[in-house]
Amino acid sequence: MQYVSTRGQAAPMSYSDALLEGLATDGGLAVPVEMPEASGEQLEAWRDLTYPELAAEVLGLFATDIPRDDLARMTAAAYAGFPEGVVPVREIEDGLSLVGLSEGPTLAFKDMAMQFLGQVLEYALEERGWVQNILGATSGDTGSAAEHALRGKERVAVFMLSPQGRMSDFQRAQMFSLDDANVHNIAVAGVFDDCQNLVKELAGDIDFKRAQHIGAVNSINLARITAQVVYYFWAWLRATDAGGWTEVSFAVPTGNFGNILSGLYAKLMGLPVRRLVVATNENDVLDEFFRTGVYRPRGSAETLATSSPSMDISKASNLERFVYELVGRDPERLAALWAELGESGSFDLSAEQPRFAAEFGFVSASSTHADRLATIRSVHEATGEIIDPHTADGVKGARANLEPGVPMLSLETAKPEKFADTIREAIGVELDCPEDVAAMLAAPQRVTEMADDADTLRAFLEENALH
């Protein structure tokens, strides 16, 4: 299996090459030359597998340069600390179930892919005798998941950018309380999109990238996308009966478009997926795009701080991978659209918009703070369960797109403890704070505050990177 860049100018890569490269050398994103297929016969053969076993099978279709026994060992190690069952699927109302992806060490769905990424990154670096400095950006959950997956690893240092004052207290504490020497937290004066732009600028400077051994674990990294594909196969196998070919729909709280892109990849591989609901918050650039076909990202000043902060993103990196599929995998047409975006601040694919749902299954929805509170409240009243505000965005979008006879699976993205203030406002409940969590919140925090300036970040990396 080979991988190419969406921009069409980078040399073909193996899975391990794409893993270590992160952003392709031409500034594009790695995509499979052709999507692997999963037949109905394979799906049935996978029905009784454990999550680590299923992960090895699905990832084995992408990572053909890694021996299957090594993949199985890595997936077993990645999920060894998770509860038995790893990803529970539980019905919360007729036709609507939650897919529990937040059972990992940082209580967020990012752990599911990141724990594998920590294993496979270490494996690839040891195979080549390299070190790598991970440069990433987070709106809340990616950073802590990456740091907890990579902390203490000898061949990896992590430099994680986050927007000053834009994360919850819990999210900040999960990152900034770590005292591992290979973890560097950098709070940038700006929003997530500013952090992401800095990452792309430095990763796009090939000489600097090579000199400082820069890599990525954001969802621009193909390995993150492929590890997330497993969620969809697992959930479909739990929600359907053996021997059937039942279509299901998924609702996905969406910020950087990585998680739901993995759902698209699962659909393109042959999984019977009917609808992929793009659930946004007030930063509804993606909702506008999927409703109208016009993509119009907002600037930092127009990106709102909301009660689902991990989705406070106005320029979704992974949309490029979808547009690449939409334009027939034509890198020249994609490059022209991105050039138009750079010149005018938008591009118009309204002529293609009917294909979004008809061919790819995409529909969309948006939520307000009041919607989140009402959704949290209604789920709690009906089931006794407490969901976090991002999951509430997904549930609202799921309810708006229910279809008779089509199971709807809404992805749970975090535990409610990470957003205690919103939970208190919604249902008046003070969530229990375990001793270890209280200790984390009270621990000293290590963070470097920095201006939104590429040269300042370059100097910091040059001084602190592994070589």
Q: pLDDT at position 44, please?
A: 93
Name the helix (H) or strand (E) containing 170. helix 169-176
- What does the pLDDT look like over 169-219, one tens digit per residue? 888 999 999 999 999 999 999 999 999 999 999 998 999 999 999 998 888
In a domain, 183, yes or no: no
- Please say if the pLDDT value at position 434 is more than 80: no
In a domain, 411, yes or no: yes
Average pLDDT over residues 97-123: 92
In this prediction, residues 8-18 reach a mean pLDDT of 96
Residue 403: give the domain boundaries: 89-104+225-427
- Whether the Cβ atoms of residue 61 and residue 260 lie closer than 8 Å to each other: no
Residue 218's pLDDT is 84
Residue 38, pLDDT above cutoff 90: yes
End-to-end CA distance of the chain: 30
- Please provide residue 293's backbone torsions phi and psi, each rounded to the nearest 5 degrees: 90, 0
In a domain, 128, yes or no: no
Nearest-angstrom CA–CA distance, 172 and 447: 10
Whole-number percent of the chain with pLDDT over 90: 86
Do 299 and 158 contact (CB within 8 A), yes or no? no
Mean pLDDT of the region 233-261: 94
Question: What is the three-state SS of 202-246?
Answer: HHCCHHHHHHCCEECCCCCCHHHHHHHHHHHHHHHHHHCCCCCCC
If one counts the domains in the chain, the total is 1
234, part of any domain: yes
Check which CATH number belongs to the domain holding 240 and give it.
3.40.50.1100
pLDDT, tens digit (0-9, with 9 covering 90-100), for 111-147: 999 999 999 999 999 999 999 999 999 887 788 889 9
Q: Is residue 369 part of a domain?
A: yes
Q: What pTM was computed for the model?
A: 0.93
- Find the catalytic residue in 110, 153, 315, 418: 110
- Percent of the chain past pLDDT 70, that is, above it, reads 100
Tell me if 80 is assigned to some domain.
no
Residue 182 domain flag: no
User: What pLDDT does residue 346 have?
Assistant: 97
Taking each helix axis from N to C end, the angle separating 331-344 and 319-326, rounded to the nearest 10 degrees, works out to 130
Task: Indicate if 415 belongs to the active site.
Answer: no
Per the domain annotation, does 333 fall within a domain? yes
Q: Over 90: is that where the pLDDT of 435 sits?
A: no
